[in-house]
Amino acid sequence: MINEVHTSCNDCIFAIRKNNKEKTQTGCKIGKLDSYKAAGTEIIEAYDDFGKEFFVINNRVCIGKRTKEWGKEYSPDEWEEIVKKQSKIRYQILVILDEKHSLEELNKTLKSIENQDNIPTIVTVVNSSYAIKTETMIENMNAYDKLNWRVQAIVMSDQTLRQKIDLVIDATYSQRFAIYATFTAGHIVPQEFSSELQSALQERMIQFAVALPSSGTEGMMVSSVLHKKHGGNAFFIPLEEKIKEFEENGEDYIMKSEFVCPCLKQ
């Protein structure tokens, strides 16, 4: 049965047919059908009123689908590369800085973020340090002209890390990012991080709600959509516990960070 959420290949310019008059689809020029199949997604054979046969990717929105109207805007030789550029994951990184961290440690982390293949949509420094003045912090951050950065000061001593994360996501949700990840100042984000995240979501077709590190917060990754849907960690309930309780098969969407991005293995 075709779910309300699905993708039809019928009018996609990447659908492979033996020739222009061939009514039966045999594959996908950019390999999305194979990727979805490998991830266990249901692929349904369907046909229209004219006997044209095509595939339907059930329960998923295909990130590669493009129509003929879209194709007219570009040269066919450019289609695949343009789709790759348009499909880059939008994500936010939160860098946690508190009393025990220095600007030097913060800069180590920021430089590693700046070296990512796919630079984050936004980087928020969560400043919980009384020792670093606002003027000093801004002067320091101005050196990172590749980054779309912001600093959010949260110095209330009774705020837990999860509460701080909620405040940041509330303040930045309009930026439209699919995933947010957390690291602490001084931690070097592996250079492979963004490319592995891209591969996980668009080639391995992994769907996760929360990806948790073995310990600490280095590389915790969260779906921003599900964060908003469940109110983050409000009422002192970790988001992953809400997902387990309220999402169908919720436990299946709670994973280890290293499964999503092997470079995060501790």
Domains of the chain: 6-83 (no CATH), 91-264 (3.90.550.10)
**Is the pLDDT at 25 greater than 70, yes or no?**
yes
Number of residues in the chain: 266
What is the pLDDT at residue 186? 97
CB atoms near residue 201 (< 10 Å) = 19
For 13-49, letters b (16+ CB in 10 Å) and e give bbbeeeeeeeeebeebebebbebbeeeebeeeeeeee
- CA separation for the pair 131, 204 (Å, rounded): 44
Residue 21 reports pLDDT greater than 80: no
3-state secondary structure of 183: strand
Closest CA to 250 of 204, 208, 201: 208
Please tell me the distance from the alpha carbon of residue 222 to that of residue 225, in angstroms, as a whole number: 9
d(CA 233, CA 18): 52
CA neighbor of 226 nearest in space, from 210, 238, 241: 210
CA distance 212 to 265: 11
Beta strands in the chain (DSSP E): 6-8, 15-17, 25-28, 43-47, 53-58, 91-97, 122-127, 149-153, 179-184, 210-212, 220-223, 254-256
**Six-digit token pair at 130?**
């009384």
pLDDT mean over 153-157 = 86
Alpha carbon distance 52, 48 (integer Å): 6
> What pLDDT is recorded for position 260?
98
Please tell me the distance from the alpha carbon of residue 23 to that of residue 177, in angstroms, as a whole number.
39
Pairing type for strands 220-223 and 179-184 reads antiparallel
Give me the pLDDT at residue 71, please.
96
Q: Both tokens of residue 46? A: 């369907």
pLDDT (tens digit per residue) in 65-85: 999 999 999 999 999 999 999
| Global pTM exceeds 0.95 | no
What are 183-208's pLDDT values in tens digits? Answer: 999 999 999 999 999 999 999 999 99
Residue 108 near residue 134, CB atoms below 8 Å: no
For residues 107-121, give the mean pLDDT: 98
Q: What is the pLDDT of residue 157?
A: 76
Q: Is residue 20 scored above 70 in pLDDT?
A: no
Model confidence at 170, pLDDT cuts 50, 70, 90, reads very high
User: What integer best gives the mean pLDDT of the chain?
Assistant: 95
Q: Tell me how crowded residue 6 is: count the other CB atoms within 10 A of its CB.
A: 16
Q: What is residue 101's predicted lDDT score, i.e. its pLDDT? A: 95
Using one digit for the tens of pLDDT, what is the confidence trace for 34-66? 999 999 999 999 999 988 999 999 999 999 999
Report the percentage of the chain scoring pLDDT > 90.
90
Task: Read off the pLDDT band of 216 (50, 70, 90).
Answer: confident
